[in-house]
Structure 1
Amino acid sequence: MQGRKAKIDPVTAQVIGGALENVAIEMGHKLARMSYSSIIRESEDFGAALLDAQGRQLCESVDSTPLQLGPIPGYMRGIFRVMEERGETFAPGDVVMHNSPYHGASHGPDVGFCVPVFRGEELIGFSFTTAHHLDIGSLHPGSTGIVDAVDAYAEGLQFKAVKVYDAGKKNEAVWQILRDNIRAPGMVVGDMEAQIAACRAGAERFVEIVEEFGLEGVNAASEELMDYSERMLRSRIAELPDGVYRAEGFIDGFVDSPNENEKDLKIAVTLSVEGSDIHVDFEGTAPQVDLPINMPFEGTVDVAVYLTIRSILLDSALTEYVPQNDGLTRPVRITAPKGTLTNPIFPAPTIARFCPGNIVADTVMRALSEVAPRNVSAGVGNLKVVAYSGLVGEDYWVYMDITEGSYGGRYGKDGMDAVDTLFANTRNNPVEDIESHYPLRVDRYELRDDVASGPGRWRGGLGSIRQISFLEEGRFALEGDGHRFAPWGIFGGEEGIAGDLLLNPGTDGEQHLPSKIPDRRMRAGETVRTVSPCGGGYGDPLQRDPARVLDDVLDGFVSEENARKQYGVVLSDGGVDAAATASLRERMAGERA
């Protein structure tokens, strides 16, 4: 709403805000229940939101993942920009498809669908969904592990604000292009149609709310809630000491590359606090590479920053509920030099931006640790994303598997074990679902144990192990990180444990592979084992409660040897030997000093 803001009482604003949020939640439920693929149906790798006529986010589905929800306003800005360049406008009955990483999208497989919401002839807002699609016609089967794409064109089909429905009429040519160029068209096109149906349901509910409260009332409530969210974040920023805070993180890159510029890649963060404003600058970050671990500045990097700052400063366990909307972005300014990993120049490939983006978030958190020590965790264990695929006659099957990572220790709490971290927040896929739909068998799915993960007063979380065997000939490709750089410890805590990837473990053909693997053919009976990192420790391990060390030993997470070596805890007869522990800890502390 432009010009003077209409007044509205806070109770009515909250009622309207709650109604809008319930619409977004309903959109998410409908999308998940109508989808064909496990990545949407089970892992919930999707986003659903309502926006106002200016493209500002009003609400979101709480069941979605931040990396799908966060970019939606950027998708909308990209659509505005492209349509303005073409001289196009929105009309009732339109459905717009968009996935350009250089126009706000997170990466090509995360396809957005937008339905403009009209009340009569007046455009009043937008209903929007995004979702990850399991094939997008790229260089290799699947839409992850395309880690050898040379440019954006090798990453799959690109759609820049394409009307798949134009004033209510279906654009059959576009749908035919999709079916002709996607390896699993029944599943992928079915998921896209589910997105459109969810968007249309959201648009109908949006109009119902406007009919009940009036457009002026809905706009006033939206302005009030955005202002409120902005005030809440600014109040927390203002509590931080003004100053400049820096941190560095590193991406494995391509460790088997002969080019030194493609491995051990730095993410540099300078975070400046001034009053109630934060400026996050990525000056010093490594230059972009000709491989797809570059990250779209708008769609990935900005989302990682916004999510980290909001999560740390407005932790829902410590503060009242704060609505997620465009107001939360106003106090934060983000800059990154062009031509770097965090602001690449088209057509640099970006499809494998997920794991590097997690490191961006992790490094921003590390920079904030100096001024918000009780709100951060130690270093986070990154995820792995594996694309499994194969042919049955002329038809492809495609499956995407996410191996959970782990969080570092936190003030007063151990790190969370085997969870999707930071801006991922997807769910794992049940073993039963995998084995009932694909020629794969899950041989192992368990926590890592006895690895002394991130020793600290509060230990790092345990990573997971997932081992999958091919029952028929097929292929796999993988995007991951965290094999060369273990999650960092903090405030005296120690580093966590790096990840691993094994091909055919326990056989004569066992191989340890790097964290990024392009498409690779597999024979029936061959096996892939993913091992995710364990988070870093928080605080001095010698201050850890001996009873908690004993619990970890009894659970099989830590051996008695590591209990003594890492924590200075001596166990005897199934319990803690308090005198021996005190003596050992005193000696270890003296040696460290």
Structure 2
Amino acid sequence: MTTAPRRQPSPKPDRIDPITTSVIQGALENIAIEMGYKLMRMSYSSIIRESEDFGAALVDAEGRGLAESAQSTPLQSGPIPGYVRGVLRILKERGDTIRPGDVIMHNDAYSGASHGPDVAFLVPVFVGSRLIAFAATTAHHLDIGALSPGSCGIVEAIDAYAEGLQFKAIKVYDRGVRNEAVWQIVRDNIRASDLVVGDMDAQVAAARIGAERLVELVERYGIETFDLACTALMDHAERLMRQAIAKLPDGVYRAETAIDGYLDSDDPAKKELPIVVTITKKDDSLTVDLTGTAPQVPDRPINMPLEGTADIAIWLTIRSVLLDTEVHGHIPVNAGLIRPITIVAPKGCLANPTFPAPTIARFCPGNQLADTVMKALSAAMPGNVSAGIGNLKVIAFSGLKNETHWVHMEIFEGSYGGRLGKDGMDAVDTLYANTRNNPIEDIETHLPLRVMRYELREDVAGAGKWRGGLGSVREFTFLDDGGASVEGEGHRYRPWGFLGGGEGMPAKLDLVTDGTSRALPSKVPHMNIPKGGHFICYGPAGGGYGNPLERDPAKVSDDVLDGVISVETALKDYGVVVSPKGVVDEAETAKARAAR
């Protein structure tokens, strides 16, 4: 009698080929993108559905990012690995473990979260009994139970407790069982609860879809191959970043800008606050030092969490400048990209506050930090940066009807500075923001608001060989009694010009009630607005790039014809003599420019 030889188990692979790695990378990215689109389609509020103020990502069991949704804002998807690391740390301290069927809610700004309204839902991914990853979504919610309606414009919060509900690694599903008590607490303590809880349910569903897709991917290729692919993907991203850094000259690059803070405050420690960035490049690594940045404001919420806001502003800007996709093609976004970058931020500064300093209004300061990193890098890579950006503004509109709150977040665009070979982009969110504005039809269909104006702000762009982008002018009128609060930046300081380009134009905001207009600072606590009251928001213009006298006269003529600049500005800023019909007088232009 003969017996068949026993089949030996296949040896575990110790290497993976680049084609399989690339296929798995594409699958991970597509899973994250699918999560994002599913969340958009299932969400209730316009800030997710239209503005796309959400994130979706896959993170390994150690908290290292594997892939994120390309269509969402970097400030939402980028912090997700930090959320996961914060949750892992908190659960370990509690002696708790993660089990199949759990869903964890988290928004702790001192444990990875970007700020309180950006709530994450994490779904652990198990293969057998092994935890291999997390599928996670984040989203900006309309209200989180702060002292006044909305989740932006909470500019007077004195500490973290005044900013709303804090969820520190809370299991809203425990081994598949919904924790109804937690959900009831959420409903009972936030405004517009139907919208908010509906959005949260959508987040859970989208994260679960991502977890299911990831399990299918691992089952298709095997856990050993999957592990090797993830390691190879992160190593590849690290190599790309190190190669890009290595091309820079060794040296120290420093830049300083500033934020408004609270311009109407009598306290000098609350306004006109410096942001300082010093980048040291050596070999194939960078150290970004924020020493010199203003101290934290202990009782106002413009502080930036180091992990979740400041780090994302830094990483995103470095990645954009050094690994521009227009030059390098598709760049995998995972934990490998950040390995060559070290961040130094003194404890207690604006970019590394100590608990319980409030952080809910960290959005605009963080965007200004990104702009300062861009300015520092301009000395090393002048052809890869834009001039100074025009920062953003968010108005939280709200009202009460039949004992039910309505809340709406409207993001007012900024603008980019000029770039090598290109004018700055007009009326867009900038740098790590990347959200969209809400269509007028959507606003007026769902809310007691009317949009009276929406146009480009003319004759204000920073002059340059490539001019800065224009902000918009938007006017909102209340159709019923309501309220609003404002969170913004860029009323005090003009966006910086580069290589001889002119500075841009600050933003401004007017409130008109009962026929009387008054100018407002960039940050305004909640105020009641009567029916018929309206805001007029003038967006900032970006800085110019290069000598304005070198701008192509034909481009100046086009700007005159488009109403972007006046005939007078064409002569004053660019030395171009042009008629109102756009005809350039070449002889007079040559004289005007020679006289400069």
TM-score interval, normalised by the smaller of the two chains: over 0.9
Q: 1:319 aligns with which of 328, 347, 357?
A: 328
Q: Which residue does the alignment assign to 1:300? A: 309
1:200 offset after TM fit, Å?
0.5
1:240 offset after TM fit, Å?
0.3
- For residues 435 and 219 of structure 1, what CA distance do their matches in structure 2 show? 50
Q: 1:502 aligns with which of 507, 510, 514?
A: 510
- For residues 227 and 322 of structure 1, what CA distance do their matches in structure 2 show? 13
| CA-to-aligned-CA distance 1:405-436 (integer Å, 9 cap, x gap) | 00000001000000000000001100000000
Q: Secondary structure at 1:207's aligned position in 2?
A: helix
Paired amino acid for 1:8: I
Q: 2:524 aligns with which of 517, 530, 539?
A: 517
Matched, 1:262 2:260: no
| CA-to-aligned-CA distance 1:50-75 (integer Å, 9 cap, x gap) | 11121211111111100001101111
1:92 offset after TM fit, Å?
0.4
- For residues 5 and 418 of structure 1, what CA distance do their matches in structure 2 show? 51
Q: Which residue does the alignment assign to 1:182? A: 190
Paired amino acid for 2:534: T
Q: Which residue does the alignment assign to 2:6? A: none
Q: Which residue does the alignment assign to 1:555? A: 562
| CA-to-aligned-CA distance 1:241-279 (integer Å, 9 cap, x gap) | 001110001000101101011100000111000011000
Q: Which residue does the alignment assign to 1:388? A: 397
- For residues 539 and 176 of structure 1, what CA distance do their matches in structure 2 show? 57
Contact persistence 2:560–2:582 (CA under 8 A)? no
1:123 offset after TM fit, Å?
1.0
Paired amino acid for 2:517: E
1:440 offset after TM fit, Å?
0.3
1:6 offset after TM fit, Å?
3.2
Paired amino acid for 2:81: P
Q: Secondary structure at 2:242's aligned position in 1?
A: helix
* Structure 1: 4+ residue segments shifted above 6 A: none
Matched, 1:466 2:479: no
Q: Secondary structure at 2:516's aligned position in 1?
A: coil
Paired amino acid for 1:62: A
1:5 offset after TM fit, Å?
9.1
Contact persistence 2:558–2:582 (CA under 8 A)? no
Q: Which residue does the alignment assign to 2:361? A: 352
Matched, 1:220 2:228: yes
- For residues 114 and 242 of structure 1, what CA distance do their matches in structure 2 show? 41
Q: Which residue does the alignment assign to 1:415? A: 424
- For residues 156 and 283 of structure 1, what CA distance do their matches in structure 2 show? 30
- For residues 292 and 211 of structure 1, what CA distance do their matches in structure 2 show? 46
Give unpaired runs (5+ residues) of structure 2: 1-11
Q: Which residue does the alignment assign to 1:163? A: 171
Using a 3 Å threshold, how does the CA distance of structure 1 residues 377 and 5 change in structure 2: closer, same or farther?
A: farther
Paired amino acid for 1:12: T
Matched, 1:84 2:92: yes
Q: Secondary structure at 2:395's aligned position in 1?
A: strand
Matched, 1:149 2:120: no
Q: Which residue does the alignment assign to 2:583? A: 575
Q: Which residue does the alignment assign to 1:20? A: 28
1:404 offset after TM fit, Å?
0.6
- For residues 342 and 389 of structure 1, what CA distance do their matches in structure 2 show? 30
Q: 1:363 aligns with which of 372, 375, 391?
A: 372
1:508 offset after TM fit, Å?
4.2
1:545 offset after TM fit, Å?
0.4
Using a 3 Å threshold, how does the CA distance of structure 1 residues 306 and 268 change in structure 2: closer, same or farther?
A: same
Q: 1:535 aligns with which of 524, 537, 542?
A: 542
Q: Which residue does the alignment assign to 1:447? A: 456
- For residues 530 and 341 of structure 1, what CA distance do their matches in structure 2 show? 27
- For residues 272 and 283 of structure 2, what CA distance do their matches in structure 1 show? 35
* Structure-to-structure mapping, 1:247-286, within 5 angstroms: 247-286=255-294
Larger mean Cα displacement after TM superposition, 566-575 or 419-428: 566-575
Q: Secondary structure at 2:328's aligned position in 1?
A: coil
- For residues 457 and 585 of structure 2, what CA distance do their matches in structure 1 show? 27
Q: Which residue does the alignment assign to 2:495? A: 487
Contact persistence 2:68–2:78 (CA under 8 A)? no
1:561 offset after TM fit, Å?
0.3
- For residues 291 and 7 of structure 1, what CA distance do their matches in structure 2 show? 52
1:450 offset after TM fit, Å?
2.0
Paired amino acid for 2:337: L
Paired amino acid for 2:573: Q
Q: 1:95 aligns with which of 90, 103, 107?
A: 103
Q: Which residue does the alignment assign to 1:430? A: 439
- For residues 395 and 6 of structure 1, what CA distance do their matches in structure 2 show? 60
- For residues 66 and 97 of structure 1, what CA distance do their matches in structure 2 show? 20
TM-score (norm. length: structure 1): 0.97
Q: Which residue does the alignment assign to 1:591? A: none
- For residues 131 and 7 of structure 1, what CA distance do their matches in structure 2 show? 38
1:321 offset after TM fit, Å?
1.3
Q: 1:207 aligns with which of 211, 215, 225?
A: 215
Q: 2:76 aligns with which of 68, 88, 92?
A: 68
Q: Secondary structure at 1:318's aligned position in 2?
A: helix
Matched, 1:475 2:483: yes
Q: Which residue does the alignment assign to 2:533? A: 526
1:465 offset after TM fit, Å?
1.1
- For residues 394 and 485 of structure 1, what CA distance do their matches in structure 2 show? 42
- For residues 437 and 271 of structure 1, what CA distance do their matches in structure 2 show? 47
Q: Secondary structure at 2:104's aligned position in 1?
A: strand
Q: Secondary structure at 1:510's aligned position in 2?
A: strand
- For residues 52 and 152 of structure 1, what CA distance do their matches in structure 2 show? 29
**C-alpha RMSD over aligned residues:** 1.0
| CA-to-aligned-CA distance 1:301-335 (integer Å, 9 cap, x gap) | 00000000000000001112110000011010001
Contact persistence 2:118–2:139 (CA under 8 A)? yes
- For residues 277 and 467 of structure 1, what CA distance do their matches in structure 2 show? 47
Percent identity over the alignment is 64
1:380 offset after TM fit, Å?
0.1
- For residues 331 and 40 of structure 2, what CA distance do their matches in structure 1 show? 25
| CA-to-aligned-CA distance 1:72-105 (integer Å, 9 cap, x gap) | 1111111011011001110000000000000000
- For residues 353 and 362 of structure 1, what CA distance do their matches in structure 2 show? 14
